[in-house]
Chains A and B, each alone.
Chain A
Amino acid sequence: MTVSTSPAAAQPRGGRAPQKLTQLERWKLRGPLLPALVLTVVLTQIPMLVTVYYSFQSRNLLRPEESGFAGFANYGRVFGDEQFRGAVLNTVVLTASTVLLSIVLGIALAVLLDQKFLGRSVVRTLLITPFLVMPAAAALLWKHAMFNPLFGILNWALSPFGVERVDWASQYPMTSIVLMLTWQWTPFMMLIVLAGLQSQSPELLEAAKMDGAGPFKTFWFVTFPQLRQFIELAILLGSIFIVQTFDPIFLITQGGPGQATTNLPYFIYQRTFRAFEVGEAAAAGVIVVIATIVIANFALRVVSSLFREEERA
Chain B
Amino acid sequence: MRIPHKPHLTRTPHRTRAVVAASVVTVMLASACSGAGGGGADGDTVTIATVANPQMEDIEQLTSVFEEEHPDINVEFVILPENELRDRVTQDIATGSGQYDIVTIGTYETPIWAENGWLTSLDDYASDPDYDVDDLMPPVREALTYEDNLYAVPFYAESSFLMYRTDLFEEAGVTMPERPTWQEVAELAEKLHDPDNDVAGICLRGLAGWGEVLAPLNTVVNTFGGRWYDENWNAQMTSPETMEAVQFYVDLVRDHGETGAANAGFSECLTATSQGNAAMWYDATVAASILEDPDSSDAAGLMGYVPAPVVETEHSGWLWAWSLAIPETSQNKDAAWEFMSWATSKEYIRLVGEELGWTRVPPGSRMSTYEIAEYQEAASAFAGPTLDAIENVDVRRPGLHEQPWVGVQYITIPEFQDLGTRVSQEVSAAIAGNQSVEEAMEKAQQYTEEIAESGGYRDQ
Binding site for B on A (CB under 8 A): 60-65, 83, 143, 148-150, 165, 167, 169-171, 173, 252-260, 262, 270-271, 273-277
A231–B112 CA distance with the chains assembled, in angstroms: 54
- Chain A nearest CB from B454 CB (Å) reads 10
B198 adjacent to A254 (CB under 8 Å): no
B418 adjacent to A254 (CB under 8 Å): no
A148–B259 CA distance with the chains assembled, in angstroms: 9
A170–B210 CA distance with the chains assembled, in angstroms: 18
Neighbouring B residues of A150 by C-beta, 8 Å: 198, 259-260, 277
A253–B431 CA distance with the chains assembled, in angstroms: 13
B448 at the interface (CB under 8 A from A): no
Neighbouring B residues of A149 by C-beta, 8 Å: 259-260
B260 adjacent to A254 (CB under 8 Å): no
A285–B260 CA distance with the chains assembled, in angstroms: 33
Given contacts A61-B95, A167-B259, 8 further A-B contacts (CB under 8 A): A143-B263, A150-B260, A167-B260, A171-B432, A255-B425, A256-B429, A258-B428, A276-B90
Neighbouring B residues of A61 by C-beta, 8 Å: 90-91, 94-95
B127 at the interface (CB under 8 A from A): no
B116 adjacent to A62 (CB under 8 Å): yes
A260 adjacent to B434 (CB under 8 Å): yes
A–B Cβ pairs within 8 angstroms, 19 of them: A61-B95, A63-B414, A64-B94, A64-B116, A65-B116, A83-B422, A148-B260, A149-B259, A165-B259, A167-B432, A170-B261, A254-B208, A257-B208, A257-B262, A257-B425, A257-B429, A259-B429, A273-B83, A276-B414
Lowest 8 CB-CB distances: which A-B pairs, in order? A258-B429, A275-B418, A62-B414, A170-B262, A257-B432, A170-B432, A257-B429, A61-B94
Give how many B residues have a beta carbon under 8 Å from the other chain's beta carbons: 37
B150 at the interface (CB under 8 A from A): no
B425 adjacent to A258 (CB under 8 Å): yes
Within 8 A of A (CB), among B393-451: 414-415, 417-418, 421-422, 425-426, 428-429, 431-435, 440
B207 at the interface (CB under 8 A from A): yes
Which one, A253, A271, A275, A276, contacts B263 given CB within 8 A? A253
B209 at the interface (CB under 8 A from A): yes
Which one, A257, A273, A276, contacts B434 given CB within 8 A? A257
- Chain A nearest CB from B431 CB (Å) reads 7
A61–B116 CA distance with the chains assembled, in angstroms: 10
- Chain B nearest CB from A164 CB (Å) reads 10
Neighbouring A residues of B90 by C-beta, 8 Å: 61-62, 276
Closest-by-CB residue of A relative to B420 is A274
Neighbouring B residues of A277 by C-beta, 8 Å: 418
Neighbouring B residues of A171 by C-beta, 8 Å: 432-433
Closest-by-CB residue of B relative to A155 is B259
Q: Which of B86, B91, B262, B417 has the most CB of A within 10 A?
A: B262
